[in-house]
Amino acid sequence: MGFSYLVVASGDLHWDALLKANFEAVPLSIPIIALSFVYQNVVPILCTNLEGNLSKVRTAIVLGTGIPLVLFLVWNAVILGSITGFETGFDKIADPLQQLRSTNGVVGPIVEVFSLLAIATSYIGFVLGLSDFLADLLKLPSGQSRPLPYLLTLIPPLVLSLLDPEIFFKALDFAGTYGVLVLFGVFPAAMSWSDRYSGSTQSPKLPLLVPGGRLTLSLVIGGSGWVILSELIKNFGHSY
């Protein structure tokens, strides 16, 4: 937040630039947005740490999603409002962070710190969620004094990143489209649909937490499926 105030106070923020929009680029940004705000993978360990207290879990989820959303919007506003005159084209790709560093000598170190913290906080959430999942899946002993789940979580991506330093950027789009939207978009809505409308009496009926009925579930499944299908068409189109 201090970074945004610094840019505004220095007069480098062009408010008219925030009114410009390119809606054709919205579909391409959906996988990154989905990947940025996915939190379901940490809900099990969150419930365990909060001892199943529903009020605390809800507060943690709302605040844990709302605060990053505000920071995300501020960060994008600073980037889009501080950089003007982008050169667009397939042969000219502008680096907004590099241009932002060049506009103000004080901004450079702040950009580096903010970027590092953004990666670190995302890393912590995924490490906690994935290590807990692997411990349950493989029946491994877990806890702070049990390093095996953490080693299985950290070593494979470390090896891949050393073999291909650019793999992170390649994985972002792939994970956001196929991983996050399938695992946290299609599957939960399909499971909820099956639980609500299958007519089976074997499973206990749970309270309806998400309003809207079939319409909401259809929008979630349809929206996720549309993004996945669009990405598949784009990838196959580039292959030929």
Would you state the structure tokens that stand for residue 41, as one six-digit string?
Answer: 């993978």
121 and 41 share one domain:
yes
25 and 106 share one domain:
yes
27 and 104 share one domain:
yes
27 and 114 share one domain:
yes
Domain-terminating residue out of 163, 184, 216: 163
Reference 181, options 2, 38, 68; nearest CA is 38
Give CA–CA dist 4/15, Å, rounded: 13
Tell me: the pLDDT tens digits for 170-203? 777 677 777 788 888 888 889 888 888 876 656 6
Q: What is the mean pLDDT of residues 231-235?
A: 78
34 and 143 share one domain:
yes
Beta-carbon neighbour count of residue 78 at 10 Å? 24
Mean pLDDT of the chain: 75
Query: Is residue 6 predicted with pLDDT exceeding 60?
Result: no
In the chain, how many domains are there? Answer: 2
38 and 149 share one domain:
yes
Expressed in percent and rounded to 5, the helix, strand and coil fractions of the chain are 75, 0, 25
154 and 232 share one domain:
no
Domain-terminating residue out of 143, 163, 183: 163
Higher pLDDT, 118 or 53: 53
Q: What is the pTM of this model?
A: 0.62
Structural domain boundaries, residue 176: 165-240
Tell me: the pLDDT tens digits for 82-107? 766 555 444 455 666 676 666 666 66
Q: What is the mean pLDDT of residues 26-38?
A: 76
Give CA–CA dist 184/181, Å, rounded: 5
Higher pLDDT, 49 or 83: 49
159 and 177 share one domain:
no
Q: What is the mean pLDDT of residues 75-79?
A: 77
Tell me: the pLDDT tens digits for 136-179? 888 877 655 678 888 888 888 888 888 887 777 777 767 777 77
Give CA–CA dist 132/82, Å, rounded: 41
